[in-house]
Structure 1
Amino acid sequence: MRRVLILRPEPGASATAARAAALGLEAVVAPLFVTRPLPWQPPPADRFDAVMLTSAAAARLGGDGLAAYRALPVFAVGAATADAARAAGFADIRAGDADAPALLERIAAAGHRRLLHLAGREHRAAAHPAIAIDRAIVYAADAVEALPRPARVALAEGAVALLHSPRAARHFAGLVDRAAGIGIAAISPAVAEAAGKGWAAIGIADRPDDAALLAVAAALCDQADRLRNG
């Protein structure tokens, strides 16, 4: 059985499900969070020489306030976040293939010193000694209290859970019994670390995008099938 449990919020969840289907994976969608925009006051754009996006939701939910920063270069974690920035009207976009600390290293190497981080209410406050960072909180992701029955059934039947963020990893670990033979696929080492130990199997994508994550999940599914079939 090649089934994956997709836990990221919409609209990303449906996009991941479509990619999974193209790979011959059956997808069960059960977002752990529901995202919503928050009111925010955009700081003056002339205070910054670059923008950082660590989540596609910031670009999708930032609203009209994003327009003030479209002339600035945008540094984004992962291809999905870069695509969301492009859809929001940004033109100069540089996608990083790692996490926020690695992206900050790249921003510093490019000579930027005054950064606006458009972020969610729950975020990782990454820092860099050479960069002054202001954060604007533009959205919230509210956690669900329990997994729906189809998700619980899928896990009981051997589905591999896809984890797209450290917060999702921590929340998922608190909702399930990790000793129940559950396998997880993490989009980065930081996400795997947040999930903790005790899983039946764990795979880590070699870059932070859906293609790499789904490749890991497919390999875990195939490995589980081989074990079941002897």
Structure 2
Amino acid sequence: MRRVLILRPEPAAGRTAAKAAALGLDARVHPLFAPQPIDWAPPVPEDFDALLLTSANGVTFAGPALLHYRGLPTYAVGANTAQALTEAGFPTVIAGDSDGSAIAARIAGDGHGRVLHLAGTTVAPMEIGPLELTRIAVYGMTALPPDPALIADAVPGSILLVHSPRAAVRLAEQIGREGRKSLHIVAISAATLAACGPGWASGQAPALPRDDEMLALALRLCE
């Protein structure tokens, strides 16, 4: 059984770990960052004709003010974010199945123009096309101190799941060139893989930036 180290923040790390365990993988969770709320001033809903969230953390940390926008057509980048919005009280959420650029194109295709995007302080690059997008940060990611348990758990042959370029840089700071030679990287995107730096036993990124696609690649490494 290959060991899979999950580096994304909680609570998403727990969801990934559960899926990895269901596939028969030895999943270990070692978040490199933790989300923290940011004070924000909610604009009036009347200034927008759609709401977009690209992370379930945005739902969690926007707080009660998020419900001001329940009457807007609501879009989520993927299923997890859509589920978080539904649980928060949004009756109808349109979920994408790819990335921020894809859901932005869907919003524009549905005829909306003025979009409120509640997000983190860092957002993956996305093409917004004709949209007039107002992005407000409602949370940020705080780097956690280096965890000796991560190094101890990174036994030869382990697979590290890396979900963002920031996590890739943080990982590269903690595992030197010698330690990388026996470890495999599965990154969420080509940009994230590049940010991990050289010297790993192998590195891959799925065609689509999805958790399930990353786990499928990890499972193939075990064959």
CA contact (8 A) 1:104 1:127 kept: yes
Partner residue in 2 for 1:78: 78
Amino acid paired to 1:97 = D
Partner residue in 2 for 1:151: 150
Deviation of 1:113 after TM superposition, in Å, equals 0.5
Taking the aligned partners of 1:213 and 1:130, their CA distance within structure 2 comes to 31
Partner residue in 2 for 1:47: 47
CA contact (8 A) 1:40 1:138 kept: yes
1:92-107 alignment runs, 5 A limit: 92-107=92-107
Between the two proteins, the alignment pairs up a number of residues equal to: 221
Amino acid paired to 2:114 = R
Q: Aligned to 1:162, what secondary structure does the other structure show?
A: strand
Report the RMSD for the aligned CA atoms in angstroms. 2.0
Partner residue in 1 for 2:161: 162
Q: 1:127 to 1:217 in 2, by over 3 A?
A: same
Q: 1:43 to 1:127 in 2, by over 3 A?
A: farther
In structure 1, list runs of 5 or more residues that go unmatched.
Answer: 223-230
Identity %: 45
CA contact (8 A) 1:159 1:221 kept: no
Partner residue in 1 for 2:29: 29
Deviation of 1:127 after TM superposition, in Å, equals 4.8
Deviations 1:23-74 (A, max 9, x none): 1111111101111211111110111111111111101111101001112222
Taking the aligned partners of 1:114 and 1:127, their CA distance within structure 2 comes to 15
CA contact (8 A) 2:51 2:69 kept: yes
Q: 1:91 to 1:186 in 2, by over 3 A?
A: farther
Partner residue in 1 for 2:171: 172
In structure 2, list runs of 5 or more residues that go unmatched.
Answer: none
CA contact (8 A) 2:156 2:182 kept: no
Partner residue in 2 for 1:191: 192
CA contact (8 A) 1:36 1:141 kept: yes
TM-score w.r.t. length of structure 2: 0.89
Deviates more, 1:126-135 or 1:186-195: 186-195
1:114-153 alignment runs, 5 A limit: 114-124=114-124, 126-146=126-146, 148-153=147-152
TM-score w.r.t. length of structure 1: 0.86
1:107-118 alignment runs, 5 A limit: 107-118=107-118
Taking the aligned partners of 1:163 and 1:88, their CA distance within structure 2 comes to 28
Q: Is 2:63 the partner of 1:63?
A: yes
Q: Aligned to 2:222, what secondary structure does the other structure show?
A: helix
Deviation of 1:196 after TM superposition, in Å, equals 4.5
Q: 1:210 to 1:129 in 2, by over 3 A?
A: closer
Q: 1:53 to 1:170 in 2, by over 3 A?
A: farther
Q: 1:5 to 1:83 in 2, by over 3 A?
A: same
Taking the aligned partners of 1:95 and 1:189, their CA distance within structure 2 comes to 23
Deviations 1:137-165 (A, max 9, x none): 1111101242x222212323321111122
Taking the aligned partners of 1:97 and 1:192, their CA distance within structure 2 comes to 21
Amino acid paired to 2:183 = I
CA contact (8 A) 1:72 1:92 kept: no
Deviation of 1:193 after TM superposition, in Å, equals 4.2
Partner residue in 2 for 1:217: 218
Taking the aligned partners of 1:11 and 1:210, their CA distance within structure 2 comes to 14
Partner residue in 1 for 2:90: 90
Deviation of 1:94 after TM superposition, in Å, equals 1.8
Taking the aligned partners of 1:51 and 1:197, their CA distance within structure 2 comes to 39
Taking the aligned partners of 1:157 and 1:198, their CA distance within structure 2 comes to 14
Deviation of 1:102 after TM superposition, in Å, equals 2.6
CA contact (8 A) 2:52 2:74 kept: yes
